[in-house]
Homo-oligomer: A and B are copies of this chain.
Amino acid sequence: MVDKKKPTIHDVARVSGKSLGTISRVLNEHPSVSIKARAAVEEAIKKLGYTPNAIAASLRTRSTKLIGMMVTDLSNPLFAIMANTAENLLQESGYSLIIANTHDNSDAEVMLIELFIKRKLDGLILSLHDEKNPKLEKILKSISVPVVLLDREMSLPFDAVMTDHEHGMRQAVEYLLGLGHTRIGLVTVSELASPGRGRIQGYAKAYENAGIEFDKNLVRCGSLDADFGYQEAISLLGLSGPPTALIAGGNQILPGILRALTRLEISIPDDISLISCDDTPLSELSKPAITVIDRDISSIGTAAAKLLLRRLEGSDDGGARQVVLDTDLVLRASCGRRDD
């Protein structure tokens, strides 16, 4: 069933009656080929089922029309939404998106960026685990293709799509303080990356503005997964002075906190108030529905693709640009007044 004899460029020359030079120009989309010659070559290629050796071709053209996206955790649905919207725009300009997963591992990040460079990708969209990793800085310093960072800050002059996490968290904590909560537990991602730092700064700022000192033991930074959320919620609720409100500082932390509340038979909002970050089916459809610090995730992908395309199409060779997204506090039934 498998056709063993693969057609070569010489077969294309024989069938089309055109020279290897003409065929090469057609394959490389060189403008100086007549319409007639192009048609003859394309017909021969189609007839023979000839596949040009893309590796050899890209040695000549130096463009692979591939964009690489690196994410810290593919199971986070936010990345899939960003990838989808970025891809839609990139495809319109003839680029394909390939995605690699680093599992929040700094070594994997370095290895995959090396791979992307070696494979001559045309541009990179990066969500990094540790934006201060010196090995990563070193390799990214020497990169010659455009890079867009997702929600990360580096000392290198890359374009970036950021979210104002500080503002979002400050607003959420101010709302809870306004409801009378003074012991607010926050479980969020590590401070190695900008979202973790921004959220903690916003939390501290809200307390500072209210003139209240906060208990540092109520802030737990580590990772963005459900297990971390579960474990820290159990720990926080077991304190002698437990929090009266919790904030899941990441959409994947939420299921862990909900599991802990179910296990301890603590009900929302009577026993505890709860706020999460980024709206998901779980926050929307929980009973009661959960107040969230929301943002337009799909616009992150669109903004990243736009920044990249401006560089790729040569319409932007200026300094690094930053697009900063705002957040909204979407109020639902998961927060109650606390007057003690």
Q: Hey, which chain B residues are within 8 Å of A87, CB to CB?
A: 101, 103
The residue from B83, B100, B285 contacting A282, defined by CB atoms under 8 A apart: B285
Q: Hey, which chain B residues are within 8 Å of A52, CB to CB?
A: 118
Q: Hey, which chain B residues are within 8 Å of A55, CB to CB?
A: 55, 58-59, 118-120
Cβ–Cβ contact A98 & B100, under 8 A: yes
Cβ–Cβ contact B99 & A3, under 8 A: no
Q: Mark A216-241, 1 if CB is under 8 A from B, else 0.
A: 00000000001000000000000000
Task: Compute how far the CA of A58 lies from the CA of B56 in the bound complex, rounded to whole angstroms.
Answer: 10
Task: Compute how far the CA of A169 lies from the CA of B57 in the bound complex, rounded to whole angstroms.
Answer: 49
**Total identical chains:** 2
Q: Mark A273-305, 1 if CB is under 8 A from B, else 0.
A: 000000001101111000000000000000000
Does A180 count as interface, using CB distance less than 8 angstroms?
no
Cβ–Cβ contact A80 & B75, under 8 A: yes
> For window 75-110 of chain A, which residues contact chain B by CB distance below 8 Å?
75-77, 80-81, 83-84, 87, 96-101, 103
Q: Hey, which chain B residues are within 8 Å of A142, CB to CB?
A: 2-3, 49
Q: Hey, which chain B residues are within 8 Å of A77, CB to CB?
A: 75, 77
Does A35 count as interface, using CB distance less than 8 angstroms?
no
Does A315 count as interface, using CB distance less than 8 angstroms?
no
Binds B, one of A13-21, A123-131, A254-262, A326-334: A254-262
Q: How far is the CB of A4 from chain B (nearest CB, A)?
A: 9
Does A210 count as interface, using CB distance less than 8 angstroms?
no
A interface residue count range (under 10 / 10 to 19 / 20 to 34 / 35 or more): 35 or more
Q: How far is the CB of A220 from chain B (nearest CB, A)?
A: 20
**Given A258-B285, A281-B282, A286-B285, A101 and B83 contact (CB-CB distance below 8 Å):** yes
Q: Hey, which chain B residues are within 8 Å of A285, CB to CB?
A: 255, 258-259, 262, 282, 286
Does A112 count as interface, using CB distance less than 8 angstroms?
yes
Does A8 count as interface, using CB distance less than 8 angstroms?
no
Q: Hey, which chain B residues are within 8 Å of A255, CB to CB?
A: 281, 284-285
Task: Compute how far the CA of A157 lies from the CA of B56 in the bound complex, rounded to whole angstroms.
Answer: 30
Cβ–Cβ contact B96 & A99, under 8 A: no
Does A209 count as interface, using CB distance less than 8 angstroms?
no
Task: Compute how far the CA of A83 lies from the CA of B102 in the bound complex, rounded to whole angstroms.
Answer: 11
Task: Compute how far the CA of A153 lies from the CA of B87 in the bound complex, rounded to whole angstroms.
Answer: 28
> For window 172-214 of chain A, which residues contact chain B by CB distance below 8 Å?
none
**Given A84-B101, A96-B112, A255-B281, A119 and B54 contact (CB-CB distance below 8 Å):** yes
Supply 17 A–B pairs (Cβ within 8 Å), ascending by A.
A2-B141, A3-B142, A52-B118, A54-B119, A55-B59, A55-B120, A74-B74, A75-B77, A83-B101, A87-B103, A96-B112, A96-B115, A119-B119, A254-B281, A286-B286, A286-B287, A287-B287
Known: A96-B112, A282-B285; 11 extra A-B contacts, CB below 8 A, are: A2-B141, A2-B142, A3-B141, A55-B55, A55-B118, A68-B98, A74-B84, A87-B101, A98-B98, A119-B119, A255-B284
